[in-house]
Amino acid sequence: RTTLQDLESRAGVGTTGGGTIIPIKDVIRMAAHATHYLAVKEDITARKEADEAVRRRKETMERDLASARLVQQSLLPAHLPVDGRVRSAYRYVPLDAVGGDFISLTVLREGGFGVFVGDVVGHGVAAALHVSMLNVMSDRVCRSRGRSPGEYLLEMNRRLQEADSSVEVIPDKVIHLTG
């Protein structure tokens, strides 16, 4: 058991907040008469609830983005067309969870391939949604207009204008492989 003499012999003195040195027995005596208060400066319950709501919303958005990424990856060609004259391969690595890059390789009924590589301006969800629309649209248009790159692009532009007047196909390279 520690006694006052033990404390004095080991510590000897105490220092107040103002820097005054006093014997340890006076420190103990003053502490015995001190009144302790607990005060609540502000209620942070609402802030904690808001933080929790933001955390839950962020988790939901992250799950939604992961699902969107799986959907977008499923739209990419699972198997590339095979032809003795042409070898094809691609690698898709979006900058964000989802992105605005697009590739379509379609075997045409009349023979040959339809190849469409697109890049929607921007990144993220909006670009990914436009890419999904382009994917479906390109597949449909390629089946009816795939033999003529000019007709293909005109029809893509017409359909895009109907869907969203702010979108336009701007060709970079048109590749037409015939049988």
Contact 100, 122 (CB under 8 A): yes
The band of 52, judged by pLDDT with boundaries at 50, 70 and 90, is very high
Of 10-14, 39-43, 125-129, 174-178, the range with the lowest mean pLDDT is 174-178
The predicted structure's pLDDT at residue 177: 47
- The residue among 109, 51, 98 whose CA lies nearest residue 74 is 98
Question: What are 97-138's pLDDT values in tens digits?
Answer: 787 787 777 777 777 777 777 777 777 788 888 888 888 888
Phi-psi region of 113 (alpha: psi -120 to 50; beta: other; left: phi over 0): beta
Cβ contact 87:108 at 8 Å:
no
The 10 Å Cβ neighbour count of residue 30 is: 12
Q: Is the pLDDT of residue 18 over 70?
A: yes
What's the whole-model pTM score?
0.57
Contact 83, 113 (CB under 8 A): yes
The pLDDT value recorded for residue 171 is: 58
Q: Sorting pLDDT into bands at 50, 70 and 90, what band is 8?
A: low
pLDDT in tens, 81-96: 777 777 778 888 777 7
